[in-house]
Amino acid sequence: MTNIRHTFRSQPRYCCDRVADLSVKYGTMYASMTIGNFVKKRKYLFWSTKNYDNLSPEVVVEGVLNYGNWDDVQELIKILGMEKVATIFRLKSIPDKYGRQNYRPEIKYYFNLYFNKYANV
């Protein structure tokens, strides 16, 4: 009988047409999603565009935090990482020279508290 854990670890890393990145971690395989695929599965969050592959991480974070549900937020954090999402949020939640920023007040308040507690930035 072969050691399954050893067999998985010896396999090379796969990439399947940007759909899923199959990786080996602790002897099991899991699929991680790209930003483009994440957005394509949640078109209801980005109704103003059809060009889902070219959305910047800043636009994706803003859309998900403002309009997504908790599962969307958690999936985005898995893809980009807590620190990156927190950094993008903090940079984009500061009003520009005209006093504009695109986060709703309750979203800005909640995620300031959330990222202050859970992000190490």
pLDDT value at residue 10: 42
pLDDT value at residue 27: 33
pLDDT tens per residue across span 68-108 = 999 999 999 999 999 999 999 999 999 999 999 999 999 99
Phi, psi of 25 (to 5 degrees): -145, 120
Across the strands, what pairs with 32? 21
Q: Which of 6-10, 29-33, 59-63, 110-114 has the lowest mean pLDDT?
A: 6-10
Phi, psi of 22 (to 5 degrees): -85, 120
Residue 45 gets which letter from DSSP? Answer: G
What is the token pair recorded at 80? 């980009």
pLDDT tens per residue across span 13-70 = 433 333 333 333 333 333 457 888 999 899 888 888 878 788 899 999 999 999 999 9
Residue 11: burial class (beta carbons within 10 Å; 0-12, 13-18, 19+): exposed
Q: CA-CA distance, 103 to 117, in Å (whole number)?
A: 19
Per-residue buried b or exposed e for 40-54, using 16+ beta carbons within 10 Å of the residue's own CB: eebeebbeeeeebee
Q: At residue 8, does pLDDT exceed 50? A: no
Q: CA-CA distance, 1 to 46, in Å (whole number)?
A: 50
- What is the residue-averaged pLDDT of the chain? 79
pLDDT value at residue 43: 86
pLDDT value at residue 32: 58
Amino acid identity of residue 6, one-letter, is H
pLDDT value at residue 78: 96
Q: CA-CA distance, 85 to 30, in Å (whole number)?
A: 22
**The whole model's pTM is what?**
0.71
